[in-house]
Copies of this chain bind each other. A is one copy, B any other.
Amino acid sequence: MSASQEVAAPQADPVCTDKLPSAARGGPVGHAISRVARLHRTTAAKLLRGAGLYPGQEFVMMHLWDRGPVRQSDLIKAVELDPSTITKMLQRLEQSGHVTRSPDPKDRRAVLVEATEKSCGLLDEVTLVWAGLEEHALAGLSQAERTQLVALLSRVEANLCTETGGCPAPGS
């Protein structure tokens, strides 16, 4: 019983010696968040499809719809995405006619972004889709549970921001 050569012949030959049954140990919250987020995104994708938007673009459009023309850098700060992501997304949104980009006369480095009139037709649809999705996702949860869910998520978000130095100041 000293040598670990015969490991009781595991049916599936776990390759890496023995080790723990990882499935359980893998952070349950991390897994849950990943799965829920992916599900949420793909459902949003299907719903948004009819509107001609890809998932992720809604956030940008929403910001433009109620902020009017903004500098691209403001947009970046608002949605907290990588600048290059925004650049490319805007190029596509411009090509599909949802957005207009023009150089800022006051700062020749900057670019002003604005939702086109055509895109305004989507506002209602997108709003509806999001409301429906939210309700679908939260079906059966009491108001208290909903607020607690967002509270917990906010705390997790705050945690993930600290120390990594990847987030803007939580205050403003």
Q: Which residues of B contact A13 (CB under 8 A)?
A: 68-69
Interface magnitude class on chain A:
35 or more
Known: A27-B134, A66-B23, A136-B160. A36 touches B123 (CB 8 A): no
Assess whether B152 is in contact with A140, with CB atoms less than 8 Å apart. Answer: no
Once bound together, how far apart are the Cα atoms of A153 and B8, in whole Å?
Answer: 38
Q: Quick one: CB contact mask for A113-148 with B, threshold 8 Å, 1 for yes?
A: 011010010010001001101101111110001101
Q: Does A84 contact B (CB under 8 A)?
A: no
Assess whether A19 is in contact with B123, with CB atoms less than 8 Å apart. Answer: yes
Assess whether B67 is in contact with A123, with CB atoms less than 8 Å apart. Answer: no
Q: Which residues of B contact A154 (CB under 8 A)?
A: 32
Q: Quick one: CB contact mask for A52-89 with B, threshold 8 Å, 1 for yes?
A: 00000001001011111100000000001000000000
A62 and chain B: residue at smallest CB distance: B22
Q: How far is the CB of A129 from chain B (nearest CB, A)?
A: 10
A-B contact pairs, 8 of them (CB 8 A): A15-B117, A15-B120, A22-B65, A32-B157, A33-B36, A36-B37, A37-B37, A136-B160
Listed in ascending order, the chain A residues whose CB lies under 8 Å from chain B are: 10, 12-17, 19-23, 25-30, 32-44, 46, 59, 62, 64-69, 80, 114-115, 117, 120, 123, 127, 130-131, 133-134, 136-141, 145-146, 148-150, 152-157, 159-161, 163-164, 166-167
